[in-house]
Amino acid sequence: MKLFGKKAVQPQNRVALCFGGGGARGFAHIGALRAFEEAGLKFDVVAGTSVGALVGALYAFGVSSEVMKRYAASLEMRDLHNGILLTPNDPMKIGKVATDLLGGVDIANAGTKFAAVAVDLIEAEQVVLDRGNVGAVVAASCAVPVLYRPLSYGGRHLVDGGLLNNIPADVCRMLGATRVVTVDVNPTRGGGTAGLGLIDVLKATFHIMSGNASTEGLRLSDVIVAPDTSEFLSTSKTGWEKMIELGYAAAMQAMPDIEKQMRA
């Protein structure tokens, strides 16, 4: 585990793949990966936040989009959360997805340089994780406050990186990338609510924070793949196959710009 921010890797001629957060809308990430695979694209650096950290870790270790899709078919949301709001779950339920597919690997050993973003509640700062057990790293990045307990790891209390950096394009550049292709699966971030109930207020609070935490990352991205997943919930698997297809279509539409970045 390592904290970046004050010390960056010297920029090199590398293209990074950045995966944003978005909960269950992250199924669209799988479709984008399928398009990249079909085009034969190989990225030099990968960074992700929340569900983007999960997909990013799998990609960095060479797991194909087809394997991810087969696992997704068997996955139920109750495997990740018991459905009882305001009763925080163990974030390792999400980390288990990574360990099921990868085992107890250290992310420092990934075939493609990878880092995940979390937030340290003690220091109130971003933490960039570029080493450590893959299950713990993914769990930390996905530990949405209230829904999940903070993960105590490496002397820190870690929660979802989306609180501060939902589109970690800056982390890609810290890792030496000169160009960044971002997959952004959450088009409704920043939205508010007219409701005054506790759940409505909490959801709106996180949406607003997520919007603010995404602005800089989008600005630092050279190409943005942005499937419209607005009809789907970030907390439900319903429509997961359609989300995959939307991710694929959005990536194919952006492919000329992506290939241009790869050739630069």
Q: Which of 171, 179, 58, 36 is nearest to 107 (CA)?
A: 58
Task: Say which of 44, 130, 160, 184 is annotated catalytic.
Answer: 160
Question: For tokens 């420092």, what's the residue?
Answer: 108
- Respond yes or no: is residue 200 known to be catalytic: no
Which secondary-structure segment (H or E) carries 115? strand 113-120
φ/ψ of 165, rounded to 5, equals: -150, 85
Kindly name the residue from 50, 65, 141, 221 that is annotated as catalytic.
50
- In 3D space, the residue among 264, 212, 262 whose CA is nearest the CA of residue 36 turns out to be 262
Beta pairing class for 125-129 and 113-120:
antiparallel
User: Cα–Cα distances in Å, from 214 out to 155, 207, 210, 229?
Assistant: 27, 11, 6, 16
CA 110 to chain CA mean position, Å: 16
Active site residue 214: no
Please spell the DSSP secondary structure of 155-195, one letter per residue: TEEEEEGGGT-SS-HHHHHHTT-SEEEEE---TTTT---S-
Separation between Cα atoms, residue 194 and residue 221, nearest integer Å: 32
**Pair 49, 164: CB distance under 8 Å:** no
Cα separation, 16 vs 77, whole angstroms:
30
Catalytic positions, written as ranges: 50, 160
